[in-house]
Amino acid sequence: MMKITLNNRPETIPDKDSLSISELLVYKNFTFKFLVVRVNEKAIRREDYDRVMIREGDDVKVIHLISGG
């Protein structure tokens, strides 16, 4: 079991000690096309989502980018 902060809320991920950003996005059903992900205040590039691992205690922010007029 892993405890993280996701978008300023405590989150418990059962049966995992770590997971990739891609795995987290699937697990939490983040399907929006334009996302910005920050882990411990560091922006993560989309091409790195499969290899950057989230671990116990990390602070993760997933932000939807929306444009309009």
**Per CATH, the architecture of 2-64 is what?**
Roll (3.10)
Contacts 24+ apart (CB under 8 A), 30-38: 30/62, 32/64, 34/64, 34/65, 34/66, 35/62, 35/63, 35/64, 35/65, 36/61, 36/62, 36/63, 36/65, 37/61, 37/62, 37/63, 38/63
pLDDT tens-digit profile, the chain (69 residues) = 999 999 999 999 998 899 999 999 999 999 888 999 999 999 999 999 999 999 999 999 999 988 776
Q: Where are the domains of the chain?
A: 2-64
What pLDDT, on the 0 to 100 scale, is given for residue 37?
98
pLDDT the model gives residue 55? 97
- pTM metric for this prediction: 0.90
Model pLDDT, residue 24: 96
